[in-house]
Amino acid sequence: MRKTRTIILLLVFVFLFHPTFSLTCNIFNGPCPSDYNCLFSLYSTQNSHAGMCGYYSYNVCCNRIFSYINQTCNTSTSSILSFYQPNNTHAAEAYNYSWQLCAGYPTYPMECFIRKECLQNETCVVSLYSTTNSHLANCSYYENKLCCVMLSDLMVNSSSLQIPSPLIYGEEVTINVTVYNIGDTDAFNVNVSCFEDGRIFDSKIIDFIPKDGNANISCNWRVSCLRNISVKVDFSNVIKELNESNNEVTQQVSIIEYLNIIINHPADNQNIYRGEMVWLNSTVISSCGDLPPHTTYWFNESTFIGSGDNILWEIPLDDSILGRKTIYVFANSTENYIDGSNSINVVILNNLPIIKDIRFNISEAEVESGESIQIICEVFDMEDCRSWNDCHLDVNISILDANKTLPKWDNTTAEKIGNIFYRDYTAPYLPLGNYRAYCSVLDSDNGYNESYSSFLVFLNATVTIDLSKSYYWWDEEAKIYGSVKRRKSGTPVSLADVKVYLDNKLICTNFTHLDGSYYCNFMVPSSIGNYNILINVTDPDTGKYFVNSTLLSVKVAYGINETEIKRERQISCYEVPQLVINPDGSVKQVFVKVCISP
C-alpha cells in the first residue's frame, strides 16, 4: 500500500493588472481620466503659469503615481518641482521655491531630473523654459524636460516554479524558475534565490529581463527534509519596483523517503547455537527521522523467519543451519517511502553436549582398595540426546590415578541406560589418594565436552597402643608406643603424622618410622585418676585419619612388685579410705590397703 501526501501550494504574491501603457504623463483640457492622477494645472499648453489642480482648465495628469502640493514632502514622496505660490505661479527645479510638488509611486518616492532629453527608462512630464522662475509647457515646447524615472516590476507566481516529481530524499534535482517583468522598464542584474524552510540553498543572477518579458533560471537542490521551497526575487531590494509584494512564491512539496533499518539484536558476527531462542529486534526510521507505519520481514539467507520488529526465532536443529549465515531484514510502508533493508552475519554453532551430573553410587566419594565404585554420567545434547529414549552419544569414562609423578589413565567406553552412562571401577592398592573420573562426550557433529569429579582410594590401617607401665605415680615420665599397619596388606604406614591427646589435650606430636612404629614420651598429670589417651594418625597418602585410644592410670602404690603381689594374696588385707593432697594442690580420696603379716 502506498499513501499520497497532500501537496499544498502557498502563493505569496499580489496579482496586479498590467495596464496597456507604462508610466505616462499628458496634459488634458479638463479633468484627468479615471486611471490618471492630477499633478497641477496650466493656463495653456505653452508658455504658461501653473496652479493647483482645477485652478486652470488644463491639467497635467500621470498614471501610476500620486502627488500633492505642499511646503514639505513626507517620506513616501519627493519634490519634483517647486512653485513660487500655489496658483498663478512660476515654477523652478525642486526646492528652489517654498511650495513643492511632491510625487511618488506606491512603493518609492519618485525620482525626476531636468535635462535636455529623457533617458530610455524615463518619461517626460512637462517642459520648462528654465530651471528657475520659469513658465511651463508641454514636453515638446521647451528644451528643458522634467524627466521622471520609470520602474520595473519583477514577479513570480505559482506558474513560475517547475519542481520535478517524484522528489526522492538525497537526490540532486533542478528546480526551474521563470521570472516575469511586468513593469515599465527593463531590469538588470536580478538576483534569484532559492530557499528550503527559509535556508538558502542556491542563488543565481539574471543579467537582463526586458519589460513585459521574462527570463528562466534554475536552482540545484539536494532533496532534504525541509519541504517548504521558496523562490525570492531581489530579496535584498536592490532594484526599486512598482510592486514589492509579488517577488516571492512558496510551494510545499512532498518527498519520498527511504526506510532505514537498524538491527538492534543480534549483534553482527554474534555466535548463536542450534536450538537457541534468538531475539530479533529492529528499529525502522525514515530519512527524516519519522517512525512511519511499516511491516518488517526477517530472512535467514533466503528462508523466511517471520515478520515484526520484535520477534523470537528458534534456531533449527538440522545440520544445514551450521556455519556463517546472513540474516536479512526488509521493511516496506506507504508510497511515500522506499523499501529499506539491512543485514548482519551470525555464526550458528553446534551445541556442545551437556554433562548434567557426575556422581558415584556411594554417598561419600571414597572407596577402599579392592572395593568397587560406580561412576555415573548423566548427559544431554540438543541434537543427539534430547530425551531418555533418544540418546546417541559416544561417552568415555576415564580414570586418572593419584600418582603425582607419572599419573596413568584407565579409559573405557561407558555403558548406558537411556541418557545415563556409567562404568564400574575396582580401586587398586596403589597408588592411594585422590583419583579423577572424567566423563568425555562426543556428539555426531564432533562437538566435544568433558567434566570430572574426584574420589578417594584408601586403605584402612590399625593403630596399636602400648604403655611402658600399667599405672604411674603423679608427675612421672611415661612412654606410649605402638605401630600403624594396613589392615588388608599388613604393610606399615610410614612417615605418617602422629598426635597424642590426653583428655583431648594435645601432649605430643611425632611421626611413624619406616616400619610403621611410633613412640612418645610425656609427663603424667599431677593428680591421681584415670585419663583417656587418644592416638590420631594421618595417612600421608590419602589424608584419612586412623585412631585408637586407651586409659592411663595415675595412682599411689606401695611395694607393688611381683613378689609382694603374690604374698598379698596369702595374707589378710583390707582397704582404708584416706585423703591425700596431690602435687598440684588438689585433694583426693584414695583407698590405702592395709595388710597384716602372720
Mean pLDDT (whole number) for 541-563: 80
Mean pLDDT (whole number) for 57-67: 97
Place of cell 602404690: 557
Contacts of 143 (CB under 8 A, 6+ apart): 116, 127
Rounded to whole angstroms, the Cα distance separating 82 from 102 reads: 9
Res 20 pLDDT > 50:
no
pLDDT score, position 334: 84
Does residue 335 or residue 42 have the better pLDDT? Answer: 42
Res 577 pLDDT > 80:
no
Rounded to whole angstroms, the Cα distance separating 78 from 81 reads: 9
Res 586 pLDDT > 80:
no
Say if CB 482 and CB 463 are below 8 A apart: yes
Contacts of 104 (CB under 8 A, 6+ apart): 65, 66, 67, 76, 77, 78, 110
Mean pLDDT (whole number) for 488-496: 94
Res 13 pLDDT > 70:
no
pLDDT score, position 571: 60
pLDDT score, position 180: 98
- Give the Å distances, CA to CA, from 97 to 51, 72, 91, 133: 14, 11, 8, 9
Place of cell 596413568: 408
**If pLDDT is split at 50, 70 and 90, which confidence band does 387 have?**
confident
Say if CB 229 and CB 8 are below 8 A apart: no
pLDDT score, position 576: 65
- Helix, strand, coil percentages (3-state) for the chain, rounded to 5, are 0, 55, 40
Q: Which domains does the chain have, with CATH numbers?
A: 25-149 (no CATH), 160-253 (2.60.40.10), 257-349 (2.60.40.10), 354-458 (2.60.40.1930), 461-554 (2.60.40.10), 562-596 (no CATH)
Res 14 pLDDT > 60:
no
Mean pLDDT (whole number) for 534-544: 95
Res 189 pLDDT > 90:
yes
pLDDT score, position 386: 82
Lowest mean pLDDT, pick from 88-92, 152-156, 529-533, 564-568? 564-568
Res 598 pLDDT > 70:
no
Rounded to whole angstroms, the Cα distance separating 127 from 595 reads: 183
Does residue 588 or residue 460 have the better pLDDT? Answer: 460
Which helix (DSSP H) or strand (DSSP E) does residue 482 occupy?
strand 477-486
**If pLDDT is split at 50, 70 and 90, which confidence band does 364 have?**
very high
Percent of the chain scoring above 70 in pLDDT: 90
Res 574 pLDDT > 80:
no
pLDDT score, position 556: 72
Res 350 pLDDT > 60:
yes
Q: What is the mean pLDDT of the chain?
A: 91
Three cell numbers at 247?
517577488
Rounded to whole angstroms, the Cα distance separating 81 from 146 reads: 8
pTM of structure = 0.62
Q: What is the CA radius of gyration of the chain?
A: 62
pLDDT score, position 18: 46
Res 558 pLDDT > 70:
no
Mean pLDDT (whole number) for 188-198: 97
Say if CB 204 and CB 218 are below 8 A apart: yes
Percent of the chain scoring above 90 in pLDDT: 82
Mean pLDDT (whole number) for 431-455: 95
pLDDT score, position 590: 65
pLDDT score, position 10: 33
Res 8 pLDDT > 50:
no
Mean pLDDT (whole number) for 514-536: 93
**If pLDDT is split at 50, 70 and 90, which confidence band does 475 have?**
confident
Q: Is residue 158 helix, strand or coil?
A: helix
Q: Which of 548, 542, 477, 23 is nearest to 241 (CA)?
A: 23
**If pLDDT is split at 50, 70 and 90, which confidence band does 473 have?**
confident
Three cell numbers at 64?
501610476
**If pLDDT is split at 50, 70 and 90, which confidence band does 584 have?**
low
User: What are the residues facing 433 on neighbouring strands?
Assistant: 457
Cis peptide leading into 431, omega within 30 of 0?
A: yes
